[in-house]
Amino acid sequence: MDSISMSVVSTLKPPTAITVAVVAVSLITGYFGFRIFRFMKHRASLRQKVSNRQAEREKNFEAVKRLAEKVGVDAVRREAIIRMTPDELRTALRQREVKCQEVLAAYVQTALAVNERLNCVTLFVLEAFDRALELDNNATDNTYDFPNMFGIPISIKESVQVRGYDQTLGYASEIGNKADDNSKVINLLLDQGFIPFALTNVPLSLLSFGCKNPIYGTTLNPFNPNRTCGGSSGGEGALIGGGGSIVGIGGDVGGSIRIPAHFSGICGIKPSHLRMTTNGLRGSIPGRPLVNASEGPMATTVDMCAKVLQGLFVKKMSKMDPYVPPVPFADDLYNSTVPLKIGYYVDDGYFPASVPVARAVEEAAEALRKKGHEVIRFQPPRIPEVFGLYFSALFIDGGCYISDRLSGDLFDPHHLQIILMPYLPKWLFAPLLNRFGPKAEPMTHVLGRTLSEQRKVYAAIEGYRHEFVKVLQSNGFDAILCPPNAGPAYEHGLPDQLAPTISYTAIFNLLDYAAGVVQYSFVNDDDIANNADFKETDHFTKILKRSISTSKGLPLGVQVAAPPYSEEVVLRVMRIIEEARDGH
């Protein structure tokens, strides 16, 4: 090596620690800066999609308003149509006292007004007016065989597949992904003569019993705008409870039909997953066995719910979806007069029902007794333990899927706990939750498990199903009566803080039972006074008690459940309770 080269080499010194640190920090800063830039750019593009959708929504509302006005239904006739009971409306349509177009226009105009107040409709189905015209034309043929629900408008939860419309589930990234075809349930509803006319709001991801998303905003309770309408079929509950629809289709994986029915003062039923096709239903987490979502009717009357299931539980459903057994609706069970034996409870041993909810269940139990049925108090087995199994089965992958979906979309700050869930070790996550008391323990089961642990979860669920059947059979119970939630409708934001209260509905998803809710009473002055004696045992009961103190006037539902393929029994008990409520 020459002298010049030696001189150059001698001047090269190893980098100092400071230099290495500066380079490392620069690289790390650059990397995270780039990631943040991409994240912010992606969120900006999603916000633009939301802005575009909101403009489209306004145009959709204006278009449907013009279509309704074109029909020419005056205010007096509109009011007369809206005031008809479901049975009166069916008769008037079949006897051609009113046209399908008139009924549709009346409900569209009413739904627009309800939406102004409650923000429950995402989009209207503009093609509904073409269908109404087609049905009116069909009815001019003297040989026309009227379908059972000829001309009845029906609203649809946004997550149910309707041709030409997207099912966003509240995700901005799903805007514009329109369905190529209807779900199987929608096609069966069309066979019955229904007219799908409105799509209704849902919470982001569907995994909430509130009703808010970044696309369409927050849906309000029809009885108190400061309270939630429930979720995830919250838009349905609000629209029907507000008088803008008489019947709709919701979905339920933990109470998503029943809680909105309870909060919004209507009725609804979750069929057993085994008996109802889910082809065309967008669920919250795909690939999840044992705990599955079910579509079901929500309505102003129990009999309307029954009529929907009469048209869905047909052989054609099994032909369309061979995984659904051909079990037709049993009218003899629904209309039976044989006395029933019913077990009931107001405290599941995990989360005690609030004063007003417990009172409503006790009064419904007494009403059933007066109708000649045997109603006996019992205690459901091991709810605190098996509620954890529900969360294990619901978040089958430890929350990875839902975390990925939320983190790639427009989420609220309170979603951060869900987004971070798959990345938190159990030794850290469990103590964070458990500081809220024993009621938080089941929610620690959302964390990931090994395949061996997951197999044990499934085995435990199957074992519990057999155990629960044994309890019912040993007592001779035909059905169960219980609360639909620990409290009535909560203030906005509280559902995220009161997840343990869904134990009353989630248990029947875990069991895959048929379960329905019917409104029975309202929170009264005595309930508010007696709420002072409700025991605050932890963080959750303290929140519940505070919420009850300002809940006067809110509706109170009661829940009825029975084993799979017993939807007719559930509906029968619901109808008896409804009749007792109305003084029949």
Q: Is 256 a catalytic residue?
A: yes
Q: How far apart are CA 176 and CA 354, in angstroms?
A: 43
Instruction: Tell me how far CA of residue 343 lies from CA of 199, 338, 373, in angstroms.
Output: 37, 16, 11
- Nearest Cα neighbor of 442 from 399, 383, 394, 387 is 387
Match 């309408």 to its residue by tokens.
229
Residue 51 annotated as binding site: no
| Half-sphere exposure (Cβ direction) of 474: Cα atoms closer than 13 Å | 8
Do the annotations mark residue 573 as ligand-binding? no
Of residues 158, 192, 155, the one with CA closest to residue 175: 158
Active-site option among 183, 205, 208, 232: 232
157 catalytic? Reply is yes
In 3D space, the residue among 364, 394, 432, 138 whose CA is nearest the CA of residue 283 turns out to be: 394
Name which of 264, 262, 261, 263 is nearest 250 in CA terms.
Answer: 261
The answer on whether 206 is annotated among ligand-binding residues is yes
Q: What is the full DSSP assignment across 194-248? A: -EEEEEE---TTS--SS-EETTTEEPBPSS-TTBB--SSSHHHHHHHHTTS-SEE
Question: What is the biggest distance separating any 2 CA atoms in the chain, rounded to whole angstroms?
Answer: 113
Q: Which residues contact 51 (CB under 8 A, 6 or more apart)?
A: none
Alpha helices in 408-552 (DSSP H): 416-420, 426-434, 451-475, 503-510, 525-530, 539-548
In what side-by-side order are the strands of the sheet with 479-482? Answer: 121-124, 195-200, 153-157, 247-252, 294-299, 267-270, 514-522, 555-562, 479-482, 341-344, 374-377
Q: Alpha-carbon distance 335 to 264, whole Å?
A: 27
Catalytic position from the list 256, 272, 294, 354: 256
Instruction: Calculate the dihedral angle through the C-alpha atoms of 347, 350, 352, 357, rounding to the nearest 10 degrees.
Output: -70
**232 annotated to a ligand binding site:** yes
In sequence order, what E strands does 286-331 have? 294-299
Hey, is 178 helix, strand or coil? Answer: strand
Whether residue 99 lies in the annotated active site: no
The answer on whether 487 is annotated among ligand-binding residues is: no
Report which residue type is found at 517: V
Residue 20: count other Cβ atoms within 10 Å of its Cβ.
11
CA–CA separation, 254 and 391 (whole Å): 10
408 is in an annotated binding site: no
Task: Please pick, among 99, 157, 307, 545, the residue that the annotation labels catalytic.
Answer: 157
User: Residue 374 has what DSSP assignment?
Assistant: E
Please, what sign has the CA dihedral across residues 492, 396, 346, 385?
negative
Cα–Cα distance, 418 to 437 (Å, whole number): 20
- The values of phi and psi at residue 287, to 5°, are 75, 30
Instruction: List the catalytic residues.
Output: 157, 232, 256
Indicate the annotated binding residues: 206, 232, 253-256
Indicate the annotated binding residues for substrate: 206, 232, 253-256
